Structure formats: C-alpha cells, structure tokens
Amino acid sequence: MLIVDLQSRLLSVIDGGDQAVNEAAWLGALASDLDIPVWLTEQYPEGLGHSDPRLLEALPQARCWAKTHFGAHDEPTLARALAESERHQVILCGAEAHICVMQTALGLLEAKYEVYWLVEATASRRREEAKLAMERVASAGVVAVSADMVAYEWLQRCDDASFKRAHQNFLKVRSARPLRF
C-alpha cells in the first residue's frame, strides 16, 4: 500500500482531505495487521510538512519516503525498494490526485505493476481534478477500488481476530453502526 503525500500543510486545502486520511489510516492499519507493507511519501517535507499525525499514529510501522519528484516511482530509492519487495500489486491513494498520485500511478503502470486506486482516500484541492485524474488513470489500466473492497478481499473471512480488529477500527473511522457476528 502506497499513501502519497497526505501531509499536514497540504491537507488544509484538500477537498475531502479528512476522509482521505481516515480511509488510508483504516486500510493501512489493516494492511499492517496482515503483514502487507505500508509506505508513505512526503513531497518536499521541508515546505509541506510531514505526514498527517493521524496517519503516523495509525501506522507506526509504515516506511516513509521523502521525495522531490511528483511521481513517487521516479525516486530511485523507492523504485528499487519496491522492486526488491517482489510485490506486483500496489494499492495507491493520497494527494493530490491529479498531480502526485496520478503521476505515481502512471509510473507504476509503466514499470509493470498492477495499480489499484483507492477512490475515497485520494483527493485534490478541487474535486473535479480528482475525478479527471481517476478517469485518466483508469483509461491507462488502473483499477478503481474502495477501502471495503480491498479490506474484505484481504480478510476473506469473518471469524478471526484480524476481521474483528478491522471491524472495530472501521466503526471508529466511520462512526458506523456495528454488525453483529
């Protein structure tokens, strides 16, 4: 899972920024619980600050990468580490959808990764730009997914501790009514 540039100073101007952080934190925590690597990027942190504290709190094991390229895969150390991970699928989200997330998605596709765009955790300053970015990457081969879709594919069943933890965290993030299992 790659969470792109959900940084404190940037989020104040992002339409849907709080939702993006909440959804990314929820799915990222589940990924960590299931031993799926979670990586954060920070675009020029000297100017835009670091990742949102809510993300850092929810994802203490996440690996963080500072970057200057808009496309995260254009950063040689990140690209090398991703190749060495031997993973071929990337769940992608973050900000801004039409700049860094889109360029990251296109770079990952070019490098032959399967890319899944986490829709409710990807945002821009203007909602229209996020929508255009999603349309553009979808036409290039990126698959749109929701956090629930990914989570339940990862979990596969409802009778273990991972599901119960994920469900409890889901209730916190979304203030939803609990399901009874």
Residues in the chain: 181
The whole-angstrom separation of Cα 118 and Cα 164 is 22
pTM of the model: 0.92
Who contacts 34 (Cβ-Cβ below 8 Å, separation ≥6)? 154, 155, 162
Going edge to edge, which strands form the sheet with 63-67? 63-67, 39-43, 2-4, 89-95, 114-123, 143-145
**What pLDDT score does 43 carry?**
97
**What pLDDT score does 177 carry?**
45
Tokens of residue 70, six digits: 């808009």
Place of tokens 């990140």: 78
Mean pLDDT, 10 residues at a time, the chain of 181 residues = 96 94 94 96 95 95 97 98 97 98 98 98 97 98 96 90 75 53 51
**What pLDDT score does 68 carry?**
97
The domains of the chain are located at 2-174
- Nearest residue to 71 (alpha-carbon basis) of 37, 109, 103: 103
Tokens of residue 170, six digits: 């889901």
| CATH superfamily to which 2-174 belongs | Isochorismatase-like (3.40.50.850)
Place of tokens 């770079």: 107
The whole-angstrom separation of Cα 2 and Cα 90 is 7
pLDDT tens-place string over residues 30-72: 999 999 999 999 999 999 999 999 999 999 999 999 999 999 9
Tokens of residue 149, six digits: 């879709």
**What pLDDT score does 173 carry?**
60
Tokens of residue 55, six digits: 């993300």
